[in-house]
């Protein structure tokens, strides 16, 4: 009997040792799997997030380009770069203006984007500086603002359906500048014109770089009339398109297609595109070329070249933008 008990005790002890050994082997195997699999999973996650971030970076950059085609008064994109992280990233868009035949470096646009398809202007990005102060909204809307990145004047426009107490006429000041001075000039017309009509009125020697479109609803105009508000170039309510010389990023076709693209595919610029679309569409609820009317333009050239605009009856007002003594490029 004692022999049987001793045998049982021995077997129980041996079983425990075997179980401990099996448990140890299982633990070691688990650790080995974790050690091997975890880096693979981390690499796959890193790669997946990187690709997803890259996709949204590219999508956002394309949207910035499209938005610049519907609301970038003589602002052109030279290049874009981005820095990504696990949650999105930041995009810097370098820009320039065309003054005469010469590129003029303008402020970069900085935006943050996330992995859900949205982006926003980066906090602390450059904004205009107002030097003059006034308690009158009507008076302050006609003060020049200065770009905080370059220090240049930012032009503004007068809507033809709003009666203003006073108008700036910078065309008449061109003769105060040296003839070779390069000038950016914002023109506000006396009424809305078709593109063909206004092209026939402007002198052929004048270089138009951007067309201002009448994309304002009755509600917008009623609000603007209350304070005789002008429309500054950096406003969210300024829409237009680059002239045909900048194709494929210019012209009316590009303007329409960019509005449609942003309406359907963009979270960040959908509201802006919808505002332009709703104010422009005709009775058939479709945006067509015939729906687009021109109420202003940006022209550039030397003071001597632009002086030909003196006395033009279709120009209601004009304002200076960039003025530079840099020599124009030669043909």
Rounded to whole angstroms, the Cα distance separating 265 from 32 reads: 46
Flag whether 46 is in a domain. Answer: no
| pTM attached to this predicted model | 0.82
Q: Name the range with the highest mean pLDDT among 50-54, 114-118, 294-298.
A: 294-298
Flag whether 48 is in a domain. Answer: no
> Which residues touch 16 (CB under 8 Å, ≥6 apart)?
none
Flag whether 81 is in a domain. Answer: no
Average pLDDT, the chain: 86
Instruction: Give all strands of the β-sheet with 102-114 in edge-to-edge order.
Output: 76-85, 88-99, 102-114, 119-121
Give the residue numbers spanning the domain of 267.
134-324
Q: Angle, nearest 10°, between helix axes 2-68 and 252-265?
A: 150
- Dihedral angle, C-alpha 112, 234, 209, 252, nearest 10 °: 70
Flag whether 273 is in a domain. Answer: yes
Compute and round to an integer the Cα radius of gyration of the chain.
31
- Dihedral angle, C-alpha 147, 130, 207, 175, nearest 10 °: -120
pLDDT at residue 40, as a whole number? 77
Flag whether 126 is in a domain. Answer: no
Rounded to whole angstroms, the Cα distance separating 182 from 99 reads: 6
Flag whether 53 is in a domain. Answer: no
Q: Please state the domain count of the chain.
A: 1
pLDDT at residue 331, as a whole number? 46
pLDDT at residue 330, as a whole number? 46
Residue 184 to residues 149, 190, 290, 299, Cα–Cα distance (Å):
17, 20, 28, 6
pLDDT at residue 120, as a whole number? 82
Flag whether 331 is in a domain. Answer: no
Flag whether 208 is in a domain. Answer: yes
The answer to which of 113-127, 251-265, 311-325 has the lowest mean pLDDT is: 113-127
Chain segment 134-191, per-residue pLDDT in tens: 555 566 677 888 888 899 999 999 999 999 999 999 999 999 999 999 999 999 999 9
């Amino acid at each position: 009997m004692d022999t049987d008990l001793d045998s049982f005790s021995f077997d129980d002890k041996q079983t425990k040792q075997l179980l401990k050994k099996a448990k140890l082997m299982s633990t070691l195997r688990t650790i080995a799997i974790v050690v091997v699999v975890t880096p693979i999973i981390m690499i796959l996650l890193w790669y997946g997030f990187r690709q997803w971030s890259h996709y949204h970076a590219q999508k956002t950059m394309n949207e910035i380009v499209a938005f610049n085609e519907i609301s970038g008064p003589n602002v052109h994109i030279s290049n874009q770069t981005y820095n990504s992280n696990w949650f999105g990233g930041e995009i810097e868009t370098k820009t320039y203006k065309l003054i005469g035949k010469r590129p003029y470096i303008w402020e970069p646009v900085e935006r943050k984007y996330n992995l859900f398809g949205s982006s926003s202007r980066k906090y602390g990005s450059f904004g205009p500086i107002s030097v003059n102060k006034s308690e009158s909204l009507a008076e302050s809307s006609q003060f020049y603002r200065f770009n905080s990145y370059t220090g240049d004047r930012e032009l503004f426009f007068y809507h033809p359906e709003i009666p203003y107490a006073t108008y700036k006429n910078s065309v008449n000041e061109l003769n105060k500048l040296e003839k070779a001075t390069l000038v950016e000039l914002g023109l506000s017309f006396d009424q809305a014109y078709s593109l063909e009509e206004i092209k026939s009125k402007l002198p052929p020697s004048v270089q138009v770089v951007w067309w201002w479109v009448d994309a304002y609803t009755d509600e917008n105009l009623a609000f603007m009339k209350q304070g005789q508000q002008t429309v500054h170039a950096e406003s969210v309510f300024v829409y237009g398109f680059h002239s045909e010389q900048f194709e494929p990023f210019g012209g009316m076709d590009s303007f329409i297609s960019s509005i449609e693209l942003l309406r359907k595919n963009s979270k960040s610029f959908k509201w802006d595109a919808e505002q332009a679309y709703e104010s422009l569409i005709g009775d058939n609820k479709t945006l067509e070329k015939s729906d687009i009317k021109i109420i202003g333009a940006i022209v550039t050239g030397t003071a001597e070249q632009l002086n030909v605009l003196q006395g033009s009856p279709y120009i209601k007002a004009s304002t200076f933008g960039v003025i530079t003594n840099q020599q124009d490029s030669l043909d």
